[in-house]
Amino acid sequence: MLFPSRKTIARLSLLSAVSTSGLLVSDVGWASDLFDEEVPVATASPRSRIDAAWDLLHDWKVVVGAGASFQPEYEGGDKFEISPVPYVSIQPYDWLTLDPTGITVRAYTAGPAAFDLKVGYDTGRGEDDSPVLRGMGDIDFGATVGGTATYSFGPADIFLEAEKTIGGSDGFTATAGVSVTQPVTDRLILGGEASATFADENYMQAYFGVDAGQSSRSGHAQHDAGAGFKSVGVSASATYLINENWFVRGEQSVDLLLGDAADSPIVKRKVVSESMLVLGYQF
């Protein structure tokens, strides 16, 4: 598989949320605010005030890293493979994040409530990803647009995420769940999530359906996959801060395919397990 799976790409957005939120530095007491010692306006020269404003506008949060994921060849497959996971996250402003999942804009914030807009991509699926998929044809790469509404209760977030793919599967998915991220020591941050995902007919038929042509080419029985809940899942993560710059993050997720997705003839395992390990550096 040339690219990480769709699920791995989605999980990377959670890594972005942790790495650019300040948890990796400020919440464990390592960060120093460049503007804690502000230059007094009355005594500062025009040049120093300009320099301070310039530094403020360019106080980017940048994280780079690399790792690997251990995952099925495709969602529902019973053979596993190791895929590389490159990682770069850039947050030039508090409301803008660029990372491997796409571009995220914090469009609205009011107390514990927030709403993000996102433009990303779906890598699709190739029929050469597994012998089981031969004759099924390729699902093309597509752009995605969507949004996430979040409401926070201390370390817990309740979220609802919706995403539409333009091109590729031309599908729509919506995921609702709750996630928790909590520093437990000066160096260790633990996280967990539980969620359920709904998918429309376009998405379900593209990834789990088998039409007459695909059936004749692949030998699989025909299968009509309609709209409905695709899966429920849980995940757990641990981020360890090696020092003020380096960190390592491990994550394990398990999803259970439901309904027409679980009943698809190309699904060999209804339980989809994925592990990920990333070593990162925060500038």
Which residue range is the domain that position 265 belongs to? Answer: 6-282
Q: Does residue 196 belong to any structural domain of this protein? A: yes
Q: Does residue 71 belong to any structural domain of this protein? A: yes
Backbone angles phi, psi at 27, to 5 degrees: -75, -10
pLDDT category of residue 9 using cuts at 50, 70 and 90:
low
pTM, to two decimals? 0.83
In this predicted model, what pLDDT tens digit does every residue of 202-224 receive, in sequence order? 999 999 999 999 999 999 999 99
Can you give the pLDDT at residue 47?
56
Q: Does residue 219 belong to any structural domain of this protein? A: yes
Q: Does residue 269 belong to any structural domain of this protein? A: yes
- Of the two residues 227 and 29, the one the predictor is more confident about is 227
pLDDT category of residue 60 using cuts at 50, 70 and 90:
confident
Q: Does residue 195 belong to any structural domain of this protein? A: yes
Q: Does residue 1 belong to any structural domain of this protein? A: no
In this predicted model, what pLDDT tens digit does every residue of 153-203 receive, in sequence order? 999 999 999 999 999 999 999 999 999 999 999 999 999 999 999 999 999
Can you give the pLDDT at residue 43?
45
In this predicted model, what pLDDT tens digit does every residue of 68-124 receive, in sequence order? 999 999 999 999 999 999 899 999 988 999 998 899 999 999 999 999 999 999 999
Q: How many percent of the chain have pLDDT more than 90?
A: 75
149-158 long-range contacts, CB within 8 A, separation 24+: 149/113, 149/114, 149/115, 150/113, 150/114, 150/115, 150/116, 151/112, 151/113, 151/114, 152/112, 152/113, 152/114, 153/112, 155/180, 155/181, 155/182, 156/180, 157/181
Backbone angles phi, psi at 121, to 5 degrees: -160, 160
Q: What is the mean pLDDT of residues 227-242?
A: 97
Q: What angle do CA 118, 119, 123 make, to 5 degrees?
A: 125
Number of domains in the chain: 1
In this predicted model, what pLDDT tens digit does every residue of 259-282 receive, in sequence order? 999 999 999 999 999 999 999 999
Can you give the pLDDT at residue 264?
98
Question: For all residues of the chain together, what is the average pLDDT?
Answer: 86
CATH number for the domain that contains residue 269 = 2.40.160.40
